[in-house]
Chain A
Amino acid sequence: MNDASRNLYAILGVAPEATADDIREAYRVMARRFHPDANRNSGAEVQFRDIATAYSVLSDPGERLRYDDARRHFSDEPAYFSLRAIPSKRVLGTLVEPQVLYLLLDIVPTQRAVANRRSTAPMNLTLVLDRSTSMRGARLDKVKVAAHHIIDQLSPQDVLAVVSFSDRADVLIPATAVTDKTSLRSTVSVMRAEGGTEIYRGLAAGVAECRKYLAPRMVNHVILLTDGRTFGDEERCLAVARQAAEDGIGISAMGIGEEWNDEFLDALATTTGGSSAYINTPRAVLQFLDDRVRSLGDAFAERLQLAVAPDADVVLESVFRLNPHPQPLEAEQQPIPLGTLEKNRPIRVLIQLQMPPSSKAGFRSVVRLDATGDVLVAERHQYKVISDIAIELAHEPSPEQPPTAILDALGKLTLYRIQQKAERALTQGLPLEAARQLENLATRLFAAGQDELAHKAIHEARRVSRTQAFSQEGRKSLKFHTRQLLALPAPGNDTP
């Protein structure tokens, strides 16, 4: 309860020198913003719990003294990462109608903390590989090559497990330190394709292997690679993922070919802060797996979580991770898992809020953002940064151009959303509406210079209006490639 690693003053938004009156007043303001009776947003409850704890400690002179004393250990703690938020408008007009406000949030490792890092964090990695009959041939061969490649890249301080599955799971390599690479490689080579696809078996065995070496100082991650659709065990898989998320294990999912269930793999990944991807050629397996492992190897902090707590009259509409690995996030499930913070690539999130009608000019608070994560190289757990976002309202604000970064991100996100709308229309039995959205998408893709995807959209529009169905390849292609447009260039080109 009285945990000195947490900055209770920051939670109440007061300075450490605050008087008892300051603290009482701050609590009053915070309670008005976040008390569950006043604020029904799902992020508010989490905040209020912290606020109540902070107040109970800081309002008691004896406890506050003990806390201050214990807190001294952390007085010279560096800032490990920080939050930077840019609003789509600096000054909002006072309006009698609601208005939309976007926030572009960057979670950035601080330069000093990155420079001081001792080494990269060790990895506790489990590969869960589909070896069902449909993987036979080029697919399985490329998966083996990719697995070999990963074995070569790991070092003796890393832990690797490999599970293969069809309608049953085989632990090919139990979780073990990567010392004897030759024998690990040959074990992977014997994998043979046969049987159906039951993801639950593979996933459960994989998470169990990963859990054996589970350590907060490590990057604990399961990568699932499948080409199939699992039947009837989705719920059990998601339960495994939720438990994994609680234990601090991330799951990334990659679908090969056209059969697999993308919504299910999305849900698996989103639950744990991982990512999902679409691989349309066996050749791309290596690249994707390599990119994912490299990203994990660059981990600065793990198990990042973001809580978005809007003020009572503000509505949180959506949260989307733009970078790394673009992924829609579940705003209802708070705090929101974000996965790994790499040392030279910020996590970038776009938050869409709806502001209430308002007639009063001046500054007002909008939302509290709270990011927590385990800083691997410093072995600092649950490091927390809080940022309260306020915005100015004016009766006649001067016109301003939204920041380019927001326009750019939102423009691309819009493409992804149109595609999602088309899918939804089709599921609702509205093929004409779906075709219309796909034509819209084509128009926007042409405008964005994405001619190839635009043609694909036109092709699918035509197909949908004729057959009332997408082609599996076309639908996945549009979904994951419009999503992929959001990805920023990989680190290296990134300016700090």
Chain B
Amino acid sequence: MKRCPYCGVENREGVLFCEECGQPFVGQAESPDTSQLDPGNHEAFKGHMSWGTARFGEDASVLIRIRDVAEPLVFAPGEETVIGRRDLSGLEPPDIDFAPYDAAELGVSRRHGVIRRGEDTLTLVDQDSTNGTFLNGQRLIPHQPRVLRDGDEVRMGRLVFNIFFR
């Protein structure tokens, strides 16, 4: 048996695409077995029944929890939220700035990714970043939007964070 890294369903050996959610099992590195929230933090989200959903309500906001960082970032996403790292080059600073979290050392680009707001969903788009954006262990194709779900794990360079809807 093997567990789908995307939806967690057990699949039989030999299956090439998860029979539950369609996640491809080949042509990519095994996704590391990581970290939703530790149980302590999970308490904060109790009663949040829609975990795993892609639906992003009208007045919902986004909570980003960077791994090993206690304080989450919360924001109400506009049409486009640029994620990256502020530096002194005079480029317009990103909406979400990871510079305080060792972003430069961890390989986050200045304009690394963008969260786009659709009618009822959020999509994540890699901005052709140097070290790539990974969604639940799968590398995003630059400029190709992928739907975000509540609880998704995103890796930009070596900086790992989870996205929650609330």
Instruction: List residues of chain A with CB under 8 Å of any chain B CB.
Output: 88-89, 92-93, 95, 97-102, 354-355, 401-402, 406-407, 410-411, 414-415, 417-418, 435-436, 439-444, 446-447, 449, 451, 454, 458, 461-462, 465
Contact = CB atoms under 8 A, between A and B. Distances in A.
Given A407-B26, A462-B55, A465-B55, A446 B144 contact: yes
Given A414-B17, A458-B54, 6 more contacts: A99-B12, A407-B27, A411-B24, A418-B22, A458-B120, A461-B55
Contact of B119 (A354, A355, A462): A462
A442 B12 contact: no
Contacts of A99: 12-14
B26 A449 contact: no
Interface centre among B16, B55, B121 (most CB of A within 10 A): B16
A18 B26 CA distance: 45
Contacts of B146: 443, 446-447
Given A97-B1, A439-B54, A102 B120 contact: no
Contact of A100 (B15, B53, B141): B15
A407 B21 contact: no
Nearest to A101: B14
A9 to B, nearest CB: 34
Contact of B26 (A402, A443, A462): A402
Given A439-B147, A449-B144, A100 B14 contact: yes
26 contacts: A88-B16, A97-B13, A99-B13, A99-B14, A100-B12, A100-B13, A101-B14, A401-B27, A407-B24, A407-B26, A411-B17, A415-B22, A418-B22, A439-B149, A442-B121, A443-B54, A443-B146, A446-B123, A447-B141, A447-B144, A449-B144, A458-B54, A458-B119, A458-B120, A462-B55, A465-B55
Contacts of B21: 418, 440, 443-444
The dominant DSSP class at the A interface is: helix
A100 B12 CA distance: 7
Interface string B31-64: 0000000000000000000001111000000000
B118 interface: yes
B147 A443 contact: yes
Contacts of B121: 439, 442, 458
B14 to A, nearest CB: 4
The dominant DSSP class at the B interface is: loop
A436 B121 CA distance: 13
B145 interface: yes
A440 B13 contact: no
A47 to B, nearest CB: 24
A98 B16 contact: no
Nearest to B121: A458
A418 B23 CA distance: 11
A454 B121 CA distance: 12
A398 B68 CA distance: 38
B120 A98 contact: no
Interface in B113-127: 118-121, 123
B119 A414 contact: no
Contact of A442 (B7, B17, B54): B54
B134 to A, nearest CB: 13
Nearest to B13: A99
Nearest to A440: B21
Contacts of B15: 100
A364 B147 CA distance: 44
Nearest to A406: B16
Nearest to B138: A447
Contacts of A442: 54, 121, 147
